[in-house]
């Protein structure tokens, strides 16, 4: 193994160049810490550029978790402020559609009001104008909320440029294969080519892959119980080309079945997240795709599979749920774990999960605060994030 000269032991080492790692790197560099980020492939190679691009307003989560919804709404505003170019053009928001006359619509409106998410009634005639082939008997009420469809790769690129301008060293095509350890402390990382890189803190921002690195750090405390449960959740997406409409929508009372248009395509998600083992690959379950295509056909009866190019894929999102949190998969909260506070206790190791990509500014803030508090650097003058909302 070779030791790399010139890297101080004070460096924060981030593993993973998705939206979590990149946004955290910005806030840590702003606090004056030297930061190196490692990505084994290209930036955003993981879930961050393979997701649906639904920038959540929080409207969909509001009934389940008001706190999560208000975080989403703030993150949406910060994303639009920091990177307006990532918004798909000519969209004003997302239609929240109600398809069942028995649904208690007023309870949704009250929750949105309580969270402070702006919404306005969208006459159903307007919906039918924007989605001309929609079956009129299927929709009886609709509201416009500020959710957007975004191009994640543009947002990611903007955050990466901001990070580099702040001095973050970004090393792509660099796989991290293990840690440097001293007793119960992590003191650095080891790359796939054998470089040893020292650092004062290591941040795992590598989604499901972090669990294999994490298990290697657990070796020296076998048998002790973790406070967190790692959950891998799989969901399926279907892309229809040419697209069916430029209006993003979600059908509230069909489990949040949703349509996120991207350029000339329509991407449909069924909002079902199944718990899977980490070892599960991105193979597609044909039943999930069939169900999605059938729901499209119910909503748009003239939809014909022969007239469109149809692609389908699945992806896995990893979350860490604290034992106190509700059922895995229900609350995709941003999570920062300081492994020294867990059992087994590992010093200088942190794991971060955005929950949903939308929540990246919240996660970056929590990561910064956790690490500064940990190293008693709280007297560092606080600098507003580059994506702060201008009033």
Q: Which residues bind ligand FAD (CB under 6 A)?
A: 15-21, 38-41, 45-48, 51-54, 56, 175-176, 205-207, 209, 235, 237, 315-317, 353-354, 356-358
Find the shortest distance in angstroms from Cβ 94 to ligand FAD.
Answer: 11
Find the shortest distance in angstroms from Cβ 134 to ligand FAD.
Answer: 22
Return the number of the residue (186 or 237) whose C-beta is nearest ligand FAD. Answer: 237
* Three-state SS at 353: strand
Find the shortest distance in angstroms from Cβ 356 to ligand FAD.
Answer: 4
Return the number of the residue (71 or 356) whose C-beta is nearest ligand FAD. Answer: 356
Find the shortest distance in angstroms from Cβ 236 to ligand FAD.
Answer: 7
For the record, the structure tokens of 141 come out as 């009420």
**Residue keyed to tokens 């597609």:** 284
DSSP alpha helices (H): ranges in 83-151?
A: 105-115, 124-130
Q: For residues 223, 225, 229 and 231, what is the CA-based torsion angle, rounded to 10 degrees?
A: 0
Give the C-alpha distances (Å, rounded to integers) separating 181 from 32, 64, 174, 184, 219: 25, 41, 20, 7, 11
DSSP state letter for 347: B
**Closest residue by Cα to residue 274 from 232, 337, 223, 331:** 232
Return the number of the residue (141 or 197) whose C-beta is nearest ligand FAD. Answer: 197
Return the number of the residue (26 or 141) whose C-beta is nearest ligand FAD. Answer: 26
Return the number of the residue (47 or 371) whose C-beta is nearest ligand FAD. Answer: 47
Return the number of the residue (16 or 188) whose C-beta is nearest ligand FAD. Answer: 16
**Residue keyed to tokens 């955050």:** 159
**Closest residue by Cα to residue 15 from 232, 177, 161, 231:** 177
Find the shortest distance in angstroms from Cβ 61 to ligand FAD.
Answer: 11
Rounded-to-integer distance, Cα 74 and Cα 386, Å: 14
Return the number of the residue (15 or 82) whose C-beta is nearest ligand FAD. Answer: 15
Find the shortest distance in angstroms from Cβ 87 to ligand FAD.
Answer: 14
* Three-state SS at 246: coil
Find the shortest distance in angstroms from Cβ 231 to ligand FAD.
Answer: 12
Name residue 322's beta-bridge partners.
228
């Amino acid at each position: 193994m070779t030791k790399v000269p010139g890297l101080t032991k004070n460096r924060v080492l981030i593993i993973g160049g998705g939206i979590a790692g990149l946004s955290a790197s910005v806030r840590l560099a702003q606090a004056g810490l030297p930061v190196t980020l490692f990505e084994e492939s290209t930036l955003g190679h993981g879930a961050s550029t393979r997701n649906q691009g639904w920038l959540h307003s929080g409207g969909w989560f509001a009934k389940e978790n008001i706190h999560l919804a208000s975080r989403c709404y703030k993150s949406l505003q910060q994303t639009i402020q920091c990177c307006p170019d990532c918004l798909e053009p000519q969209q004003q928001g997302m239609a929240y559609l109600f398809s069942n006359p028995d649904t208690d619509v007023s309870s949704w409106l009250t929750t949105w009001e309580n969270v402070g998410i702006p919404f306005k009634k969208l006459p159903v005639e307007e919906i039918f104008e924007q989605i001309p082939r929609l079956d009129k008997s299927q929709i009886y009420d609709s509201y416009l909320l500020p959710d957007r469809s975004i191009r994640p790769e543009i947002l990611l690129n903007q955050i990466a440029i901001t990070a580099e301008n702040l001095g973050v060293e970004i090393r792509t095509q660099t796989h991290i294969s293990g840690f440097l350890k001293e007793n119960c402390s992590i003191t650095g990382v080891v790359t796939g080519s054998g470089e040893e890189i020292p650092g004062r803190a290591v941040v795992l921002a590598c989604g499901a892959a972090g669990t294999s690195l994490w298990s290697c750090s657990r070796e020296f405390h076998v048998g002790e119980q973790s406070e967190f449960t790692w959950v891998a959740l799989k969901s399926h997406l279907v892309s229809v080309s040419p697209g069916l409409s430029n209006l993003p929508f979600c059908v509230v009372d069909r489990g949040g079945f949703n349509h996120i248009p991207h350029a000339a395509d329509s991407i449909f998600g069924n909002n079902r997240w199944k718990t899977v083992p980490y070892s599960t690959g991105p193979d597609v379950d044909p039943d999930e795709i069939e169900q999605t295509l059938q729901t499209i056909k119910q909503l748009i009866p003239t939809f014909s599979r022969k007239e469109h190019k149809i692609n389908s894929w699945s992806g896995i999102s990893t979350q860490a749920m604290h034992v106190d949190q509700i059922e895995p998969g229900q609350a995709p909260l941003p999570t920062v774990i300081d492994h020294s506070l867990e059992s087994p206790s590992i010093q200088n190791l942190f794991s971060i999960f955005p929950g949903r990509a939308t929540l990246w500014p919240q996660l970056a803030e929590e990561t910064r605060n956790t690490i500064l508090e940990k190293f008693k650097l709280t007297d560092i003058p606080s600098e507003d994030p580059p994506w702060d909302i201008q009033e």
